[in-house]
Amino acid sequence: MGDEAVALGAVHAGLTAAYAYPGTPATETFEFLLGYSKRHGHPVASWCANEKTAYEQALGVSMVGRRSLVVMKHVGLNVAADPFINSAIVSVHGGLVLAVADDPGMHSSQNEQDSRFYADFARIVCFEPADQQEAYEMTRQAFEVSERYEIPVMLRLVTRLAHSRSIVYAYQEEAEKPLDKARDPASWTLLPSHARGLWRRLLEVQPELVALAEESPHNRLTLSDHDRGLGIITTGIARGYFLENLPELDSSPSHLHIGVYPIPVAKVRALAEQCDRILVLEEGYPLVERQLRGLLPTPLLVQGKESGDVPLAGELTPDAVRQALGLPCRPISVPAVEDLPPRPPQLCPGCPHRDSYNALNEALGDYELSIVNADIGCYTLGAAPPFQAIESCVCMGAAIGMAKGAADAGLHPVVAVIGDSTFLHSGVTPLMDAVAADCDMTLMILDNEAIGMTGAQHTVLSSSRLEPLVLGLGVDPDHCHVVEARPANVQKLADVLRHELEHHGLSVVIPVRECIEHVKRRRKEAKA
Amino acid sequence: MKYDVVLAGVGGQGVLSVGLVLATCARADGFEVKMSEVHGMAQRGGSVNATLRISDAPIHGCLIPQGTADLVLATEPLEALRYASELAPTGTLITSTEPHRNIPDYPPIEDLLRRILALPRAITVEARRLASQAGSTKAVNLVMAGAASSLVPIRPSTFETQIRRVFGTKGDRIVEINLAAFELGREAAQCVAA
Ligand code: SF4
């Protein structure tokens, strides 16, 4: 799997420690590292409370001269954006690589943002592998580049690479780096007086980064002698879709493939000199296309997502690329069957969230108007029939803040629904706000003792430590209840909720039962 | 030579396991292999599909262009029909006949099977029944792999070697059940195809 190729590449690069928060499609990189670490006693591999804490721990490893890897999904980088952007300014010491997996097509995400923009924004190097073998090799190179230029390096994957399997050939392992603390604390202390100098240093190194991209064998320019009309630029996995269609083109056009950013300007110019028109094929947002196009008209015609030649939303496919290349549609042999009922994902039979939602729906039945702000996890599936129990899902932890806002605005009753892991990820700080204001809302922390959606990983804190944490934040013990979530208990849970909805102040109800997938995982791990 | 398979079913049914059996065997026979998978939200009891590409030349990407699949291999009839349009003009559809009814508006099964059998090349197997005949309903994935085995470009002996290798650690009984399930799937598909 592409995810696993990254993990193996990192291990073979002498990795000391890896940090992550689970998120599709990035989870498997870390699962591989956890397994490896269990078998070999190294590297350090720990699930973290969230992506920001993960990134900061990796920075600490780098500061003492060793190599670290941080793994997250694209939206996780929003959470880790603060340490990420600032880490571009410090003088990274031990190689620091951020492997981030984007999810174009939103197979299991709330958006399809493109992490390459973050790399561009931070002015660092970004590797974008086109296949599993490149994922392995680029991970290893990323560590070297990180140390050579003292910057963090991004490795950008997309779902179709992260979750597809292929053979990877590995080579000679490197030894772990010795402990070697960064000599100059000033290059790690972003006081304005230091930061100005460090920022200038990062700007000064930019031409070197462009030169690295120009010379990289991953950025390959093939000029065609006979076809001077069309030029193609591909990035990452789009190359595969282009090559798949290539045999059907009349002649093979000039082609530049980009696998390392910043954009290799000279190579792009060399391509442009050969052609009247350039078609940009890239997975994600149109990053390269936008830079090529600029604002002012040029004689060169640039085609891609912005121009409408490739769909702007959704995942890139071989068929979309075929169309953009002007190849005729394939004849349809079996027409698509339109009248089939959809089969959306749903909560597992016997899932504890089912009982929680049945109870919540019953308790809210008495009110004409109410609001339920929920969050990200399996329980988001409670938005669909038969439950239709929740009304929002925006980003990790948003449930609590949004509920407080709705209560502040005057609505009653207000319910926030969040899972235990999402609560630990980003729910503790908004709960502090709610405690400070003794906000008139009821928070349900659905404690399934696991991160269900991504494959039932263990949460960072065990379930028994959830209630003391909530009470420690200052929630009134009289309005904090832990109730077992099982079918026989729905009535009891509904009664507790009813009572707390009527309490004009902050209440916390924690329905608890272990996720079914987690039970299975635990048994499997016990056997192994 | 290239052979493209679309795998379809319901999340949690083991669609990926069927693909992995075929991928492992194709690899053992020296082919290039690429397989795409689905994880996360998509696995929770919803409609899922995966792709498996087998070739003797390098494979560029894991996605299969529409209307070019050599085989649609489905563990569930409704999902089989949903992905039938992926088939190439010469492609074959193999599906288990047993419905997985986890939605309120599941169509009548006779209806689904009638439409499936109306396709140019369709093979149906009673995968669960054959698996329990072999000794365990858990072996249903091996029945499906068996059903596909005479179409995919993999040597029959490779399947046996790989099944023995993969399940070897779990004891002889498990190996025998899986081998039996594979054989039953293979025979069932051949009967229909003949
Ligand atoms: S994985 Fe766990 S939490 Fe998610 S739906 Fe299934 S039982 Fe519920």
Are B87 and A237 within 8 A, CB to CB? no
The single-letter code of the amino acid at A370 is S
pLDDT-based confidence at B11, cuts 50/70/90?
Answer: confident
User: Which chain A residues contact residue B44 at CB under 8 A?
Assistant: 345-348, 378, 381, 453
Backbone phi and psi for residue A415, each to the nearest 5 degrees, phi listed first: -125, 135
At A372, list the tokens: 């339920």
Domains A2-204 and A352-520 equal at CATH topology level: yes
Q: How close, in Å, is residue B50 to chain A by CA atoms?
A: 9
Which pLDDT score, from 0 to 100, does residue A305 have?
95
Rg, Å, chain B Cα set: 16
Check CB contact under 8 Å for A345 and B88.
Answer: no
Q: What is the share, in percent, of chain A residues with pLDDT greater than 70?
A: 99
Q: What is the pTM of this model?
A: 0.90
Mutation target to probe the B interface, by most B beta carbons within 10 A, among A106, A158, A164, A451 is A164
Q: What is the pLDDT of residues A270-289, one digit of tens each?
A: 999 989 999 999 999 999 99
The answer on pLDDT for B4 being more than 90 is: yes
User: What is residue A27's predicted lDDT score, i.e. its pLDDT?
Assistant: 82
Q: What is the pLDDT of residue B193?
A: 57
- What are A47's strand-pairing partners? A20
Asked if pLDDT for residue B37 goes beyond 70, the answer is yes
Instruction: Provide, as residue numbers in chain B, all residues whose Cβ is less than 8 Å from the Cβ of A336.
Output: 85
Residue B109, helix vs strand vs coil: helix
Question: Residue B133 has what DSSP assignment?
Answer: H
> Average of pLDDT values for B158-176?
90
User: Residue B150: which CATH number?
Assistant: 3.40.920.10
Could you tell me if A2 and A161 are in contact, meaning their C-beta atoms sit under 8 angstroms apart? yes
Residue A515's identity, in one-letter code, is: C
CA distances from A284 to A237, A313, B34, B40 (A): 11, 8, 22, 20
- Contacts of residue A380, defined as CB under 8 A and 6 or more positions apart, other chains included, come to A374, A390, A393
- C-alpha to C-alpha distance for B18 and B142, rounded to whole angstroms: 7
Residues on chain B touching A239 (C-beta within 8 angstroms)? 60
Mean pLDDT (chain A) is 93
Task: Give the residue whose CA is nearest to atom 5 of ligand 1.
Answer: A347
A400 Cβ neighbours under 8 A, 6+ residues apart: A373, A416, A418, A427, A430, A431, A433, A434, A443
Of A27, A20, A28, the C-alpha closest to A4 is A28
pLDDT in tens, B59-109: 998 899 999 999 999 999 999 999 999 999 999 999 999 999 989 899 999
Does the pLDDT of residue B194 top 60, yes or no?
no
Mean pLDDT of A126-153: 96
- pLDDT given for residue A1 in this prediction: 84
A345/B102 CB distance under 8 A: no
Confidence at residue A522, expressed as pLDDT on a 0 to 100 scale? 85
Q: Give the pLDDT band (50/70/90) at residue A465.
A: confident
Q: Residue of the nearest CA to atom 6 in ligand 1? A: A348
Which CATH code fits A352-520?
A: 3.40.50.970
Tell me the per-residue pLDDT of A351-397, one tens digit each, with 9 for 90 and over: 999 999 999 999 999 899 999 999 999 999 999 888 999 999 999 99
Range with the lowest mean pLDDT among A12-26, A412-426, A485-499, B28-42?
B28-42
Band the pLDDT of A227: cuts 50, 70, 90. Answer: low
pLDDT at A255 over 60: yes
Distances, alpha carbon A362 to alpha carbons A54, A264, A317, in Å: 39, 60, 45
CB < 8 Å to A107, chain B:
38, 40-42
Atom of ligand 1 nearest to the CA of A518: 2
Distance CA B167, CA B185 (A): 18
What does the block give as tokens for A256?
């530049």
Domain containing residue B134: 2-193
Nearest to A309 by CA among A379, A258, A233: A233
Residues A60-80 pLDDT 10s: 999 999 999 999 999 999 999
> CA-to-CA distance for B174 and B160, rounded, in angstroms?
13
Maximum Cα–Cα distance for chain B, whole Å? 45
Residues of A with CB under 8 A from a CB of B: 1, 24-25, 27-28, 107-108, 160, 163-167, 237, 239-241, 243-244, 317-319, 322, 330-337, 340-348, 378, 381, 453-455
> Which phi and psi (to 5°) does residue A181 adopt?
-60, 140
Q: Which residues line ligand 1 (CB under 6 A)?
A: A 347-348, 351, 353, 378, 448, 452, 456, 515-517; B 44
Q: At what angle do helices A2-12 and A27-40 cross, to 10 degrees?
A: 40
3-state secondary structure A366-406: CCCCCEEECCCCHHHHHHCCCCCCCCECCCCCHHHHHHHHH
pLDDT at residue B149, rounded to an integer:
93
Number of domains in chain B: 1
Domain ranges (residues) in chain A? 2-204, 220-324, 352-520
Contact A343 B61 (CB under 8 A): no
- Return the pLDDT at A413: 96
What tens digit of pLDDT does each residue of A92-125 get?
999 999 999 999 888 888 899 999 999 999 999 9
Question: Residue B192 has what pLDDT?
Answer: 65
Q: What percent of chain B has pLDDT over 90?
A: 71
Contact yes or no for A431/A400 (Cβ under 8 A) = yes
Q: Which residue has the higher pLDDT, A526 or B67?
A: B67
What amino acid is encoded at A391 in this protein?
A: E
Among B12, B78, B85, beta carbon nearest to A334: B85
The CATH architecture to which A2-204 belongs is 3-Layer(aba) Sandwich (3.40)
Determine the pLDDT at residue B41. Answer: 61
- Write the CATH number of the domain with boundaries A220-324: 3.40.50.920
Choose the residue to mutate in A516, A521, A522 for probing ligand 1, maximizing ligand atoms within 8 Å of C-beta: A516
**How many angstroms separate the CA atoms of A485 and A489, rounded?**
6
Distance CA A348, CA A302 (A): 48
Residue A418 C-alpha, separation from nearest chain B C-alpha, in angstroms:
17
pLDDT class for B40, splitting at 50, 70, 90? low
